[in-house]
Amino acid sequence: MKVAVVGATGLVGTEMLTVLAARNFPVTELIPVASERSKGKEIEFKGKKYKVVTPSEAIALKPDVALFSAGGDTSKEFAPKFAEAGITVIDNSSAWRMDPTKKLVVPEVNGDVLSADDKIIANPNCSTIQMVVALKPLHDKYKIKRVVVSTYQSVTGTGVKAVNQLMDERAGKDGEKAYPYQIDLNVIPHIDVFQENGYTKEEMKMILETNKIMRDDSIKVTATTVRIPVMGGHSESLNIEFENDFDLNDVRAALAAQSGCIVVDDPASLQYPMPKDAHGRDEVFVGRIRRDESQPNTLNMWVVADNLRKGAATNAVQVAELLAEKGLI
């Protein structure tokens, strides 16, 4: 299969190449794509070197599938052009997520919505992906009424500039800033731009995307998203109110049975998920599972995943795998 990776030189694009190789996706020819200024650079994939091309050149090479991770503006400009050429696009930006004509897919949650007509498929926001993987089996079993989520998000979610800012600050050096404030030894309760309602765009993404992916607008979600000086993964504290009561052992069993989910929940042995343990992994880790004793039918839990893997690259590759499995590409 001919596979284009658009944004191949970026953090997520690089991770996509790693994931394609690790999961043995049937790549017969790789087409690394980036902007004009990166044209001609060499990318190594599975021991072979490939030259970076521009999006227009990539379309002419007719890949079967194009994994996009080059920002919303690039996606809006080029995804329709790839689609018109018969190339299936899986887009990691926010450009198409809430478009009613496009599918927003997490394979373990709503992979059944995919069809041969889907030429632009949206990859959800990183913090939404890990949350809905954990919510899906519980919604099926107990019906979720409301979710209160607070996130603790890695600097890798912002990109290379943010990683450099953290490491520069840690080394006591001046350098380019990704954030308006120091991030080392600090916490910034601000991810993406503020909206008129006082929420950030990141918070609204989690709210709106969850309803679309879960195919249930009755689920109420409220979010606070926070950047912390961590690399390796995003963490989330979830408070979930159900219509029906639950047994904690049944909750753990339902989560353990969920594809792509690993339960790490043994407080007596100090076992709980942490971003350093999720780093480089494709699964979503869940722990600190306990009843909310302040109101009925309500559960607290802690969810962790590598935001560059399951939160971005892995989910996109899994969508491609599912399309191939169904014979849709």
b/e per residue 74-93 (b: at least 16 CB within 10 A):
bbeebbeebbeeebbbbbbb
Question: pLDDT category, 242, cuts 50, 70, 90?
Answer: very high
Note the pLDDT of residue 175: 95
12: tokens are 């997520």
The pLDDT tens digits of the residues spanning 149-202 come to 999 999 999 999 999 999 999 999 999 999 999 999 999 999 999 999 999 999
Q: For the residues 242-255, what does the mean pLDDT come to?
A: 98
- Partner residues linked to 146 by β-bridges: 220, 241
Measure the CA–CA gap between 315 and 317, rounded to whole angstroms. 5
Residue 72 pLDDT level (bands cut at 50, 70, 90): very high
Paired tokens of 186: 């600090």
The mean pLDDT value for 83-90 works out to: 97
Does residue 316 have a pLDDT over 90?
Answer: yes
148 has a pLDDT exceeding 90: yes
Question: pTM for this structure?
Answer: 0.95
Which phi and psi (to 5°) does residue 176 adopt?
Answer: -65, 140
* Of the candidates 229, 238, 243, the residue with the CA atom closest to the CA atom of residue 154: 229
DSSP secondary structure code for residue 61 in this structure: T
Confidence (pLDDT) at 232: 85
pLDDT attached to residue 145: 98
Distances (CA, A) of 297 to 121, 221, 238, 271, 294: 35, 16, 14, 25, 10
Average pLDDT over residues 62-88: 96
* Consecutive H or E run containing 166: helix 160-170
Q: pLDDT category, 250, cuts 50, 70, 90?
A: very high
**pLDDT tens digits for 279-306?**
999 999 999 999 999 999 999 999 999 9
pLDDT at 80 over 90: yes
Composition of the chain by helix, strand, coil, percent to 5? 35, 25, 40
Task: Please choose, from the candidates 12, 15, 278, the residue with its C-alpha nearest in 3D space to the C-alpha of residue 157.
Answer: 12
What span, in angstroms and rounded, lies between the C-alpha atoms of 202 and 225? 7
pLDDT at 263 over 90: yes
* Mean pLDDT across 256-265: 98
Rg (CA), the chain: 20
Query: For residue 46, what pLDDT is reported?
Result: 94
DSSP E strand stretches across 8-132: 29-33, 42-45, 48-51, 65-68, 88-91, 103-104, 120-122
pLDDT in tens, 106-132: 999 999 999 999 999 999 999 999 999
Enzyme catalytic residues: 126, 234
Please state, in angstroms and rounded to a whole number, the distance separating the CA atoms of residues 199 and 216: 22
Nearest to 84 by CA among 66, 103, 100, 111: 66
Q: Mean pLDDT in the chain?
A: 97
Query: Mean pLDDT over residues 308-325, rounded?
Result: 97
